[in-house]
Structure 1
């Protein structure tokens, strides 16, 4: 038995063909999918975003650099259903003495507020991205209650007595070379040392030795140091971390200097603000699979999709039980979502992270519906939560 949740056995292929209601506007069903590697078993949530009782938001443990199981995240938030989210900084074996932060790769928006920006493309964890995509890709739901695919780029600046310069990081585990990034209370208490390791093209490259950290409270510098620190950040404090050219910019600052920091996530295509957004990568756009999708590597996968102009949300997670553990390829994932009627689809973290939970009507806690391939729930940094007031 898993802590905080229960596992259910895989249902027959014809179980609940039309789905059963979890809450008003939310249904759940299971079915088998034939793949080149064998039979996969899928768990599907269908969510009516046009239902005024339904909303979707980010599940997260209260800090960007923290992890918890999907069942605990869903229970603590009061969600009726949920699934795991973005790829994340899961291991740092290439950087001795540096701990993995557990922070996700891509942008994240929760309840309309930006939590973090994307790491450089070369610093990501996960399978190869489809050609033409990058780490800024998101699946989001706007204030118009419609789902869409987009990119969210960080825009911001640091104003100092010597002038202003661009801010190129926000609560992310890896900063671009020659840049300055900001860490806020939303980051949590994890060490910020990982932020200066690797390069824009090589995740395993050594950590930079040319670094600087500046703490700003109430609009003024309160401390400076030669390397990134750790520990929780007060709500009225911003920590600036610089590497290479960015470190040299920060060395011009002294305690007492006035500093202003601005930052926001800007959408590439949508003029509608996002209430929720999560990172990953697109696999289906406008009814067509993206070119260059992997046709060779089968795995347990998690994928989001939408249809009817973004009104209907599809959340699919494969089962990781031994009989189905071969899963499907990314290309098969795109084809499966198109068969289900999705016009657009978006790949999330998979393998041992894949997990889908639902809470039966009247139940006090969620149930894990698929079998995690690792045999137990894996703590993850974020996920997608489905909420209902019905």
Structure 2
């Protein structure tokens, strides 16, 4: 009998066990080698770690290129277990490439957007490069005394963002005012054109607006209410060296000469809906543009001068009350020659503070230095509340500085935009004690000295209301 067979016959079990042990060791070595290769790059939400084995006498040199963004790791020796090319589904890192030549080897990390330099750690047997994915790079410069422009290139685990902001010290007495596109209620105009027309040092887009350009929500210029609040949304009030922020509600009353209440008002300079009473002023234009299914009362100097069904001419020194449904019965009590007055109040009563400019926006982002998103309470929909988008916001600091902030968005690998929570945290980071959202998306625009600083997501500057 052959010795091997005799050995197997006598102690065959042990022979098999040894064969299994050899197989296990070989498999373990193979798996371990593959694991080492897979762990060359480790992706974390906030950073990337490159770990390479190091031989005796081996050196590594790291360099960077920014256009396109690459990290180059050169070594005087080859590096084991690296593939020629490996792609990654990471938001920042696109690909790792490896090559070697007679003078050594090179690892190239291709990134989707600019990143800061990494931190190198070396030991006798390893080389490690830790590259941050979460960072904020800020530059600031003075536009005028009391007006500072800030620019940020920043990134987090969701990708990069470009932020522009203005910091205006109200104690310097700068006049911060609102303006309508084309200086009228209807129509649209680019922010850069409005800034140039009004001679503004700087400007940002503001209120949400309808397809006609009409502002949606409360809007007051120089003490004249142009449109009423909607859903008691958050608004900003401005006056000489003053800025305040709160949710704003509205009440309008039609009072007769004897002091009795005729009826209440539902809106200002907007389309009349069922059973509503709307007041139309000179800001609406020359006509009410209403249909004939109602009743309209023309008032000049507090006296009714004309009554008709609809589409009345708005007098330059008066207004038109336009009623539908049940409200036509209230106006039916009036006759030509009757006297009346319209009392409109906003709550809070900011006029007592000297506020003469009010812009509605929302939702609230920050209250008393803490994140507070009031989207549901202010009846906003998901097109505003959900997801990432270009954003415009306004904030107030504890030392009476006004912050205008824009965030570029919808631009992969350049600026992905922010959620409202991220926007609120950004305002807190910039020092806001109070903050609210404004119209964003393609409307987001910041202009300083007639120059558009942000990258509008439409690819060009959008006309706004």
The TM-score bracket by the shorter chain reads 0.7 to 0.9
- 1:43 maps to 164
For 1:57 and 1:345, the matched residues in 2 are separated by: 18
Specify which of 293, 307, 316 is matched with residue 235 of structure 1.
316
- 1:372 maps to 456
For 2:156 and 2:390, the matched residues in 1 are separated by: 12
- 1:274 maps to 355
Equivalent pair of 2:207/2:360 in contact (CA under 8 Å)? yes
Residues 16 and 110 of structure 1: is their aligned pair in 2 closer, same or farther, counting only changes over 3 Å?
A: farther
- Asked whether 1:334 is paired with 2:424, we answer yes
Tell me how far 1:215 sits from its aligned partner.
Answer: 1.7
- Asked whether 1:64 is paired with 2:193, we answer no
For 1:58 and 1:81, the matched residues in 2 are separated by: 12
Specify which of 301, 306, 316 is matched with residue 396 of structure 2.
306
Tell me how far 1:291 sits from its aligned partner.
Answer: 4.7
Residues 183-209 of structure 1, C-alpha deviation per residue, up to 9 Å, x if partnerless?
11122247544xx9xxxxxxxxxxxx9
SS of the counterpart of 2:431? coil
Residues 72-116 of structure 1, C-alpha deviation per residue, up to 9 Å, x if partnerless?
1111111100000111112xxxxxxxxxx3211111122333332
For 2:172 and 2:160, the matched residues in 1 are separated by: 34
Equivalent pair of 1:153/1:268 in contact (CA under 8 Å)? yes
Tell me how far 1:373 sits from its aligned partner.
Answer: 1.3
- Asked whether 1:214 is paired with 2:294, we answer no
After superposition, where does 1:79-118 map in structure 2 within 5 Å? 79-90=200-211, 101-118=212-229
- 1:74 maps to 195
For 2:452 and 2:242, the matched residues in 1 are separated by: 27
- 2:439 maps to 349
Tell me how far 1:41 sits from its aligned partner.
Answer: 0.8
Aligned length: 321
For 2:455 and 2:224, the matched residues in 1 are separated by: 32
- 2:96 maps to none
Q: Quick check: which one's helix share is greater?
A: 2
SS of the counterpart of 1:19? strand
Point out where structure 1 has 5 or more consecutive residues left out of the alignment: 1-11, 91-100, 122-133, 197-208, 360-365, 382-390
Tell me how far 1:210 sits from its aligned partner.
Answer: 5.1
More divergent stretch after superposition (14-23 vs 181-190) = 14-23
- Asked whether 1:29 is paired with 2:157, we answer no
TM-score by length of structure 2 reads 0.62
Tell me how far 1:292 sits from its aligned partner.
Answer: 5.9
Equivalent pair of 1:74/1:82 in contact (CA under 8 Å)? yes
- 1:322 maps to 411
Residues 220 and 112 of structure 1: is their aligned pair in 2 closer, same or farther, counting only changes over 3 Å?
A: closer
Tell me how far 1:13 sits from its aligned partner.
Answer: 8.9
For 1:262 and 1:328, the matched residues in 2 are separated by: 43
Specify which of 239, 242, 256 is matched with residue 146 of structure 1.
242
SS of the counterpart of 1:59? coil
Specify which of 273, 278, 294 is matched with residue 181 of structure 1.
278
Q: Which fold has the larger relative contact order, with Cα–Cα distance below 8 Å and residues 6 or more apart in sequence? A: 1
For 1:73 and 1:230, the matched residues in 2 are separated by: 30
For 1:189 and 1:329, the matched residues in 2 are separated by: 41
- Asked whether 1:287 is paired with 2:407, we answer no
- Superposed CA RMSD in Å reads 3.0
Residues 377 and 116 of structure 1: is their aligned pair in 2 closer, same or farther, counting only changes over 3 Å?
A: same
- 1:128 maps to none
- Asked whether 1:168 is paired with 2:265, we answer yes
Residues 191 and 377 of structure 1: is their aligned pair in 2 closer, same or farther, counting only changes over 3 Å?
A: farther
For 1:191 and 1:35, the matched residues in 2 are separated by: 50
Residues 180 and 334 of structure 1: is their aligned pair in 2 closer, same or farther, counting only changes over 3 Å?
A: same
SS of the counterpart of 1:343? strand
For 1:13 and 1:242, the matched residues in 2 are separated by: 61
Specify which of 313, 329, 354 is matched with residue 248 of structure 1.
329
- 1:263 maps to 343
Equivalent pair of 1:171/1:186 in contact (CA under 8 Å)? no
TM-score by length of structure 1 reads 0.73
Residues 76 and 247 of structure 1: is their aligned pair in 2 closer, same or farther, counting only changes over 3 Å?
A: same
Residues 191 and 89 of structure 1: is their aligned pair in 2 closer, same or farther, counting only changes over 3 Å?
A: farther
* Structure showing greater Rg: 2
For 1:212 and 1:223, the matched residues in 2 are separated by: 11
Residues 259 and 67 of structure 1: is their aligned pair in 2 closer, same or farther, counting only changes over 3 Å?
A: farther
Point out where structure 2 has 5 or more consecutive residues left out of the alignment: 1-113, 117-135, 376-381
